[in-house]
Chain A
Amino acid sequence: MQYVSQFFSIINDVFLKMTWLSDLITWVVNNIFRLPINDTDIWGRIGGSLQFFIYDSIKIIALLSFLIFIFAYIESKFTPEKTRRILSKLKGIKGATLGALLGTVTPFCSCSSIPIFISFVKAGLPMEVTFSFLISSPFVDLASTVLLASMFGWKVAITYVVVGVLLAILGGMIIGKLKLEKYIQDYVFDMKVGETEEVEPTKKERIQYAKEQVKNIFTKVWKYVLLGVGIGALIHNWIPQELVEKVLGNGNIFAPILAAIVGIPMYADIFGTMPIAEALVLKGTGIGTVLTFMMGVTALSVPSIVMLKQVMKNKLLGIFVGIISVGIIVIGYIFNIFQFLII
């Protein structure tokens, strides 16, 4: 058992945390840029920021390309048509659970969420199933889970997934129980939805799809990653630890709520928020507070709410946003309280 866990921790250090890369960049900063790395003088801080920036950019970009390729290949098997067919036979908690789970592997870009929502509703899927799928799909995905593991370890990553899926199931069940069907925009029910044949993608198509995904996500995301790493580097070496601890640390009882207020309206990519989260945790922010921030950024944003308004009336939209907001704040508190168990 001991050897197994040692084996995994080596794999984790070499491939996910890339500790060797961190050491290498430290060497480069020390010997080529001739800068010290410390928190005491200005050159040490510049050196530290530089080390964080170079190391984190390379790490995230390398992991991102690799992970997106692998997971896009796996996920290409789960087409929305197939998901709809599987889910259409279920209802209640069973349906909500499967909906939430399939939401984690069914890939789609955010602009597809409306067509998928409409076709689920038109196919007669119960509310709890549709909504647990809708909540879990932007929240939890395979690539961000592995990236999370590379920064905070597997315990945090797995807990994040489990909690995210549970929130999706619970949110879906509440919306289902409230019988809110009448608050879906009326035109959705009048819409004609055509049928397409369910074609199993070939291996070649799946590889091509995976390559495309890497390219697409890359062109879309690199700005956010560099920006995120830049902000992370600033927090890492220039913002005093006491300040971060005071505002976002566990001493401040409102920290998760604050994180939600900042995170929810913001639109950014999860990969861009991770370096910020990493730096914040190093500076003493509670892990729950950071997770609330990250979940807020990925699950909801002003653009996504505007988009959802096309298919939901205000009441339903309000309940949807309310459940997610309360959910992620509660998750923040739970993680902060049980921090000692998972770090």
Chain B
Amino acid sequence: MNIKVLGMGCCNCVKLYENTQDAVKDLGIEANIEKVEDMAKIMEYGVMRTPALVINEKVIVQGRIPKKDEIKKILQK
């Protein structure tokens, strides 16, 4: 699984990154979590509100920080 956390450093992107890491660890799945801070790359996803969570190149959440449990549910889908 390929997970990306989009955000330019502010807006609690760090928090989303941590929550995602925790969720992946809890589920014990194989996933590559990447932080994307480059604005051009963020725009390519069409994201206007950071932070955003991208799973397998699809924007799942943007503009808010889902909690660990919510991310777990998303990942299990």
With a CB–CB cut-off of 8 A, which chain B residues contact A216? 12
**Does B39 make an interface contact (CB < 8 A)?**
yes
Encode B38-70 as 1/0 by CB contact (under 8 A) with A. Answer: 011011111111100000000100111111000
Known A81-B48, A112-B48; judge A196-B62 contact (CB<8 A).
yes
Q: What CA separation (Å) do A84 and B48 show in the bound complex?
A: 11
Q: What CA separation (Å) do A310 and B47 show in the bound complex?
A: 18
Cβ contact within 8 Å between B49 and A112: yes
User: Smallest CB-CB separation from B8: which chain A residue?
Assistant: A111
Cβ contact within 8 Å between B50 and A111: yes
Number of B interface residues in the complex (CB < 8 A): 23
Cβ contact within 8 Å between B45 and A115: no
Residue from the list A196, A205, A209 in contact with B47, Cβ < 8 A = A196
With a CB–CB cut-off of 8 A, which chain A residues contact B63? 79, 108, 112, 209
With a CB–CB cut-off of 8 A, which chain A residues contact B39? 114-115, 118, 310
Residue from the list B47, B59, B64, B65 in contact with A115, Cβ < 8 A = B47
With a CB–CB cut-off of 8 A, which chain B residues contact A209? 63-64
With a CB–CB cut-off of 8 A, which chain A residues contact B48? 80-81, 84, 108, 112, 115-116, 119
Cβ contact within 8 Å between B46 and A193: yes
Top 8 nearest A-B pairs by Cβ distance? A194-B46, A196-B46, A80-B48, A111-B10, A115-B48, A196-B59, A209-B64, A194-B45
